[in-house]
Amino acid sequence: MTETKEAKLDYLRVLILAENTVPFDRPLLGQHGLSCFIEARREKASLRLIMDVGQNPDVLSHNMQKLNVSAANIDAVVLSHCHFDHTTGVAALLAAAGKANLPVIAHPHIFRDHFLPGPPLRFIGMSRADGSAGALNAAGGRPILTRDPLSLLPGLMTTGEVPRLTTFEEGGLDVYTLEDGHLQKDMLHDDLSLVACVAGRGLVIITGCSHAGIVNIVTHALGLFPEEKLHAVIGGLHLHGAPEERIRCTVEAINAFAPALVAAGHCTGFQAQVELRRALGERFCPLHVGAEFVIA
Ligand SMILES: [Fe+2]
Ligand SMILES: [Fe+2]
């Protein structure tokens, strides 16, 4: 699926509802996790959605209240991947939204077993309360589980599964799943992002953890909108603990896309943030709860 020339948004707003850090002197709470409120408009059509929900529903709900985001006003939920720090409490959010059949868009493997081998072995996928299509249905959601890109509004789509093309990017985690009773290395193929195409600006990519590799994600997004250039990346880049060489190659490749903005936090890691700031100057900023980006 590729989008046509006319498929562009007039307005995009991204507001960070959950992240690891909080700004000075604001009544917001931090947590290890990520959640974004996204508002997209095109002519008379509009869409409001939440991508990821962090790992603490009480903290999310507190921040939503302080930031004037009501669950009752959202049209869809997107889950970027299975990790607990992005998905815990999604059923509670659906219940708070109080709708029937609220679309929950994710990859078909999102409910799989997913763990760090340890010791101690640790499940880091979706929680039991959130981790099945039945649980989300019972809470008022309607899972749409696809590995393909899904158009949400002309000019706004999910990436679907992202091809892994670069030689220097990998998932960044030694994680496993089960297939027919066999242990398998889990490559996090469920990792997906959102791509918005904003008129007069270009592509804005909103990521969860970028386990597919941010350079792979940007390359894939540019393939979905072949006429466009990259405008911004907002989200997690999962370069926390990455080897210096991987960080260097990633920063160099991001810089080559010449984005106007890279706003990266959560699992990006301090070292990668420092290198991004060094390469991009003021075009880089770290994320925090309450950070707001309006692209129009
Ligand atoms: Fe994460
Ligand atoms: Fe993750």
Q: Domain residue spans in the chain? A: 11-295
**Which segments in the chain show pLDDT lower than 50?**
none
Distant-in-sequence, close-in-space partners of 80: CB < 8 Å, separation ≥ 6: 51, 52, 86, 191, 192, 193, 207, 208, 209, 235
Report pLDDT for 5: 52
Report pLDDT for 187: 96
Residues 42 and 9: beta-carbon distance below 8 Å: yes
pLDDT tens readout for residues 31-53: 999 999 999 999 999 999 999 99
DSSP state, residue 121: P
Report pLDDT for 171: 65
Report pLDDT for 3: 61
Instruction: Supply 96's token pair.
Output: 């708070």
Q: Cβ atoms within 10 A of the Cβ of 294, count? A: 10
Residue (of 233, 219, 222) closest to 295 by Cα position: 233
Question: What is the distance in A from the centroid of ligand 1 to the CA of 1?
Answer: 28
Question: What is the distance in A from the centroid of ligand 1 to the CA of 87?
Answer: 10
Residue (of 190, 154, 223) closest to 9 by Cα position: 154
Angle at alpha carbon of residue 120, lines to 119 and 122, rounded to 5°: 120
User: What is 11-295's CATH number, 3.40.640.10, 3.30.360.10, 3.60.15.10, 3.40.50.360?
Assistant: 3.60.15.10
Question: What is the distance in A from the centroid of ligand 1 to the CA of 214?
Answer: 14
DSSP codes, 154-222: TTEEE--S-----SS---SS--EEEETTEEEE---TT---EEEEETTTEEEEE-SS-TT-HHHHHHHHH
Question: What is the distance in A from the centroid of ligand 2 to the CA of 112?
Answer: 14
Question: What is the distance in A from the centroid of ligand 2 to the CA of 78?
Answer: 14
Report pLDDT for 287: 98
pLDDT tens readout for residues 245-256: 999 999 999 999
Q: Is 181 exposed, middle or buried (0-12, 13-18, 19+ CB in 10 A)?
A: exposed
- pTM to 2 decimals? 0.97
